[in-house]
Chains A and B, each alone.
Chain A
């Protein structure tokens, strides 16, 4: 049975040294955010995840969800009690506004908890996670009456929320949706249609389920410009807040899938169900994107989380498993064999893993601070700058973060050899659970297209310019310190590859958009490597400074520098080959005629 320990110490370091959490007191909601409070919240939250959620991960995977003949769905044993404990602990209201019963803490702290929750039990975490996304959409586009009616119970966790976009014939291309919304006499709508792949669509954890559903009103155009968003509750809610009749929405079936077995992925049938328009008519997609951008960051965090959970267990195994002798002579002479962590190829997989997880955590939290700033900074220019940066990095965090998260999880599975393939060790579950993160909330191919097609050039490329100059100025600041040359030199090269890649895309993507499409994934990975390299630079500078100042924890900071060195030497150079892939253009990708496949 795998274990999990929340990486509180590393997170506290990143929050302070990289994300700058404690330098934001000018931003509303950050005044009370002190290091001791954050430490207390993360310690207690991490403990809850490790002791309550993690032990349910493997059994939840093995049991899965059950749909009963009456259409009701039950989550795996223990999930309901754990969900109640989660809500009683107030964890669902971490970032929700105090006005609706939340704690009003920064999104950044919420992002940390998302990681801990997803690493301990990804399938469980999706129930409150989807609900948080639905709350965000109601919070931003809902009327005051709608917020008062729906949010307090959702913040408390008594009700959960879902996102209903996908239909059997369309997922990525939402202009094709067929679900209809016919106006009723009382101002509500009758929603009719079928939605598929609805995570947490039906379950027994909460008293009510609030579905946010994309549908078309009569006469709306057949494109994304004709889509509206509706609130469709499982149970009708009376004005006094009490629950009324069962609405005409039901779960037709649950999917049998590769991973996240503990989360019910539902086919939802709407048969004239009562719905209430959320936001403006035909502006549904914009409202849904409020959820989607946050959800994409959340999915990137899942990639990080599965990688870290797998890494922790791989390290434990590699230190304890005695097998063979070190190539350079016995390291455990009194034992019958050496622990496998002495073998360079095992080290390679473990170093790849930690070089990714530590920097990815930094990138996620550095990005999360931009989310907070984009929402709440008092100065408009600061809000805009933060928004430009996080818009650029969202597809990178989602696409690159989950591609690499999956690679790392599968490498950590490899460390266990045959046992990695056996269910009871839990490693194959991390791999299976990580796999979906590359697919949902927009496949990683879509993320790469979003990056090269929209985000790079958005607002005249302001976000791109801002990011390039931030990395450039950190490189310049570190240039004086020869001890960091091991990192500044390769990062400078990687950054040059990214810049050359952007130039190539500008010159070749316009004339033939397939050039951008064919190179998008390589470019996203290149940018991702450079973004993590930037995070390693920030961490290496902070750790070198801590060592120079005579830190009381030299091991921690020394390990950071050693891992930074690994990343610089073994990961960053890949940008050169990625650039070559990009610059090979569309022809080599598209040359084979369709009929010859």
Chain B
């Protein structure tokens, strides 16, 4: 079974994000970029499936600027087999990404596509779901356990009430939650080997997808600064204050 893992290049989680002075977005120039942490978990899961003999090949794909090659190399250094770069300089929106991925899925015919549940830049949490919709495949989102059994996969999902296990017919879509696994550090020999693993260079046009953004960003601002709170001495005072503020009747 082939496993496809889309990976996104995002601002490194250690970086304190700043809004651009013209409020058109966040500052990306000369900022450390890394693989989306949820996607690292997805890559790790795919590699583990390969190590267990369940997956035969792990293909990673990244859609975005040329530097996404570095993100692909990181995945290859972790142990993925080959990469596909779909190069575009436009802002990548979930639906357009899902459309490109659907075309790649048609070409590559993976048994499983494992995605991060969301990217830490825009936190959209929709690409996996849209991709499942476009392909008409089953989806197991927010996975904390992935257990393929023959032509199905059991996915344990983290839901509000606890855990839910769904059995999906393959091919299927899985999106990863934080507790699925702990991604490995790339080993030095694998970093060296990753250099010679193949990366195919593609464009959205190769897949017949128009990635022109459909959303317009009006303004990006920093979250309002938190106001200092007040201390109350008793429950009565608290209730009185809440009434005063109109929070309770």
- The interface of chain A, by Cβ under 8 A from chain B, is 5, 9, 32, 34, 36-37, 39-41, 43-45, 47-48, 51-52, 85, 88-91, 93-94, 103, 552-553, 555-556
Most buried by B among A34, A47, A85: A47
Tell whether, in the assembled complex, residue A40 and residue B185 are in contact, meaning their CB atoms are under 8 Å apart.
Answer: no
Partner of A47, one of B185, B189, B192, B194: B185
Q: A90-B189, A556-B30 are in contact. List 20 more A-B contacts (CB 8 A).
A: A9-B32, A36-B73, A37-B191, A39-B70, A40-B73, A40-B74, A40-B77, A44-B77, A44-B185, A44-B186, A47-B185, A52-B185, A85-B185, A88-B187, A89-B188, A90-B188, A103-B188, A552-B29, A552-B30, A553-B29
B243 interfacial contact with A, CB 8 Å: no
Residue of B nearest to A50 (CB): B14
Residues of A within 8 A of B18 (CB): none
27 pairs across A/B with beta carbons < 8 Å? A5-B14, A9-B32, A34-B195, A36-B70, A36-B195, A37-B191, A37-B195, A40-B191, A40-B195, A43-B74, A44-B185, A44-B186, A44-B191, A45-B188, A48-B185, A88-B187, A89-B185, A89-B186, A90-B187, A90-B188, A90-B190, A93-B188, A94-B188, A103-B188, A103-B192, A553-B30, A556-B30
Residues of A within 8 A of B70 (CB): 36, 39-40
Tell whether, in the assembled complex, residue A555 and residue B30 are in contact, meaning their CB atoms are under 8 Å apart.
Answer: yes
A188 and B108 alpha carbons, distance in the complex (Å): 62
Give the dominant DSSP class at B's interface: helix
A34 and B186 alpha carbons, distance in the complex (Å): 18
Partner of A37, one of B185, B186, B190, B192: B192
A223 and B191 alpha carbons, distance in the complex (Å): 48
A477 and B70 alpha carbons, distance in the complex (Å): 36
A47 and B74 alpha carbons, distance in the complex (Å): 12
Total residues of chain B contacting the partner, CB 8 A? 18
A40 and B194 alpha carbons, distance in the complex (Å): 10
Known: A5-B14, A36-B70. A41 touches B188 (CB 8 A): yes
Residues of A within 8 A of B191 (CB): 37, 40-41, 44
A511 and B77 alpha carbons, distance in the complex (Å): 62
Residues of B within 8 A of A52 (CB): 185
How distant is A6 from chain B, measured CB to nearest CB, in Å?
A: 11
Residue of A nearest to B14 (CB): A5
A51 and B186 alpha carbons, distance in the complex (Å): 13
Which 5 A-B pairs rank lowest in CB-CB distance, beginning with the nearest?
A90-B188, A553-B30, A89-B187, A44-B186, A90-B189
In the complex, which residues 71-97 of chain B have their Cβ closer than 8 Å to any Cβ of chain A? 73-74, 77
A44 and B185 alpha carbons, distance in the complex (Å): 7
A246 and B190 alpha carbons, distance in the complex (Å): 36
Residues of B within 8 A of A37 (CB): 191-192, 195
A414 and B195 alpha carbons, distance in the complex (Å): 45
A62 and B191 alpha carbons, distance in the complex (Å): 34
A85 and B70 alpha carbons, distance in the complex (Å): 23
Residues of A within 8 A of B190 (CB): 90
A239 and B189 alpha carbons, distance in the complex (Å): 28
Residues of B within 8 A of A556 (CB): 30
Residues of B within 8 A of A5 (CB): 14
Tell whether, in the assembled complex, residue A103 and residue B189 are in contact, meaning their CB atoms are under 8 Å apart.
Answer: yes
Residues of A within 8 A of B32 (CB): 9
Residue of B nearest to A51 (CB): B185
Residues of A within 8 A of B192 (CB): 37, 41, 103
A89 and B190 alpha carbons, distance in the complex (Å): 9
A5 and B34 alpha carbons, distance in the complex (Å): 14
How distant is A40 from chain B, measured CB to nearest CB, in Å?
A: 5
Residues of B within 8 A of A51 (CB): 185
Residue of B nearest to A37 (CB): B195
Residues of A within 8 A of B185 (CB): 44, 47-48, 51-52, 85, 89
Residue of B nearest to A47 (CB): B185
Residue of A nearest to B189 (CB): A90
Most buried by A among B73, B186, B188, B190: B188
A34 and B14 alpha carbons, distance in the complex (Å): 27
How distant is A579 from chain B, measured CB to nearest CB, in Å?
A: 41
Residues of A within 8 A of B29 (CB): 552-553
Residue of A nearest to B190 (CB): A90
A44 and B191 alpha carbons, distance in the complex (Å): 8
A88 and B189 alpha carbons, distance in the complex (Å): 10
How distant is A483 from chain B, measured CB to nearest CB, in Å?
A: 22
A555 and B30 alpha carbons, distance in the complex (Å): 9
How distant is A11 from chain B, measured CB to nearest CB, in Å?
A: 13
Most buried by B among A45, A51, A52: A45
Residues of A within 8 A of B73 (CB): 36, 40
Residue of B nearest to A45 (CB): B188
Residues of A within 8 A of B186 (CB): 44, 89
How distant is B72 from chain A, measured CB to nearest CB, in Å?
A: 11
